[in-house]
Amino acid sequence: MNRIVVVGASAAGLAAAETLRREGFAGSLTLIGEEIDPPYDRPPLSKQILASTWDAERLALRTLDQLTALRLDLRLGARATGLDRQERTVRLSDGTDVPYDGLIVATGVRPCRLPGPGAHVLRTVKDALALRRTLRPGTRLAIVGAGFLGAECAAVARGLGCEVVLLEPAPVPLAHAVGERIGQVLSQAHRDHGVDLRTGVTVTGVTGAGVSIEDGEPVAADEVLVAIGSRPNTEWLESSGLTLDDGVVCDEYSAAAPEIYAAGDVARWHNPLFGVPMRIEHRTNAAEQGMAAARNLLNPAARKPFAPVPYFWSDQYDLKFHAYGYLRGHDVAEVVEGSLADRRFLAAYRKDDRVVGALAVGMPPKAIRPWRQAIALSTAWKDLR
């Protein structure tokens, strides 16, 4: 294998490129990224960047020296528009074709939008700086969607003195992800901090003066942030013959085809640890899967299944969430240490007869580690409770 092309120059693509070099790949390595900025980190966008406690320079994932050391053919500001698997080339927006022997797809996701003008979304550094400019004391901000992203932004905007109305279609925010009781703890945290949280509200569009509501009065706002989830960037693969189904469908090795792997937010792969296909939008998974994809592409004879315990964190007000495992679709969530009332707790999640997840707020790492271990070992619930 002489030529490897990585499409998507963010967390997953960078991890893949670095791993290829660390594993001794000496051939030509092309990293293609639509954004003009060198690889940067997204989680701080809704935290330190929005709060203005960091400058955008701090987002850089690597220094220029570190990037140079990778000996990349780095194509920033270039969008892949097509993939020809017969010719083994990636077509770019400027019409050039980049040939490959091995390909890693790491094109991530982009935010879903609502009809109507002028709303913000938050995915890129540009988005974050544009939103930040509008958040001043007294600005009335409507946030559509009370998932982790909407919730983090609500917390930061309150800290900046904005009036915040947070609109969520479900009766309890994040109930499907973390369970109803913990979702209620989150709701209470918002209300304690003066957020006008309205649940059971479906937003139908953005009006220029706020948002319109299904069967209800419109909500007035100076600025609107739409945080209702995202969609994988796979349009450029549509005529490639690869299987696409809310992401690039991969096997347990993260392979979409023998010479094509996918990693990060765009990849839907079969996680053998849980026995289900999953697509995960977590920062750590992007790096881990990028590394795994690179290794498997380089060493086809010694491929290893990618079977991680997913992990993410989220900062809201003074609460720091750490979540391990696959919480979605759990049967039971049970507080096993601490208490919800103190907002210092560890909850364990059960599906069928096994531990599939754990979520901790304000707990020491040593309390969390055994639960992570239990998830990694597919421990039976009855052996822990």
Partner 1 sequence: MRIEFDEPKCVAAGQCAMVAPGVFDQRDDDGVAIVLDATPGPERFDEVREAAAVCPAAAIRLVEA
Ligand X SMILES: Cc1cc2nc3c(=O)[nH]c(=O)nc-3n(C[C@H](O)[C@H](O)[C@H](O)COP(=O)(O)OP(=O)(O)OC[C@H]3O[C@@H](n4cnc5c(N)ncnc54)[C@H](O)[C@@H]3O)c2cc1C
Q: Which stretches of the chain bind partner 1, using CB under 8 A?
A: 11, 15, 18-19, 22, 41, 43, 58, 60-63, 283-284, 287-288, 291, 311, 313, 320, 322, 364-366, 368-369
Q: Is residue 281 a contact point for ligand X (CB under 6 A)? A: yes
Task: Report the C-alpha gap between 35 and 56 in whole angstroms.
Answer: 15
**Which one, 168 or 281, has the nearer CB to ligand X?**
281
212, HSE (Cβ side, Cα atoms, 13 Å): 11
Nearest distance in Å: CB 6, ligand X:
10
Q: With CB under 6 A as the contact rule, which of the stretches 1-9, 212-220, 271-279, 365-373 interacts with ligand X?
A: 1-9
The number of residues that bind ligand X (CB under 6 A) is: 36
Q: Is residue 212 a contact point for ligand X (CB under 6 A)? A: no
Q: Is residue 255 a contact point for ligand X (CB under 6 A)? A: no
**Which one, 207 or 285, has the nearer CB to partner 1?**
285
Among 265, 271, 292, 368, binds ligand X (CB under 6 A): 265
Kindly list the distances between the CA atom of residue 300 and the CA atoms of 171, 252, 327, 355, in Å, as whole numbers in the listed order: 48, 13, 32, 32
Among 6, 7, 141, 224, binds ligand X (CB under 6 A): 7
**Which one, 6 or 348, has the nearer CB to ligand X?**
6
* 296 three-state secondary structure: helix
- Three-state SS string across 232-250, please? ECCHHHCCCCCCECCCEEE
Side chain identity, residue 71: R
Token look-up 């240490």 returns: 337
Token look-up 């901790």 returns: 360
Residue closest to 228 by CA, chosen among 182, 156, 168, 282:
168
46-85 residues near ligand X, rule: CB under 6 A? 46, 79-80
Nearest distance in Å: CB 270, partner 1:
21
Residue closest to 140 by CA, chosen among 198, 222, 50, 203:
222
Task: Report the C-alpha gap between 337 and 18 in whole angstroms.
Answer: 39
**Which one, 41 or 84, has the nearer CB to partner 1?**
41
Binding site for ligand X (CB under 6 A): 7-13, 32-35, 42-43, 45-46, 79-80, 106-109, 122-123, 149, 233, 236, 264-265, 281-284, 286, 312-314
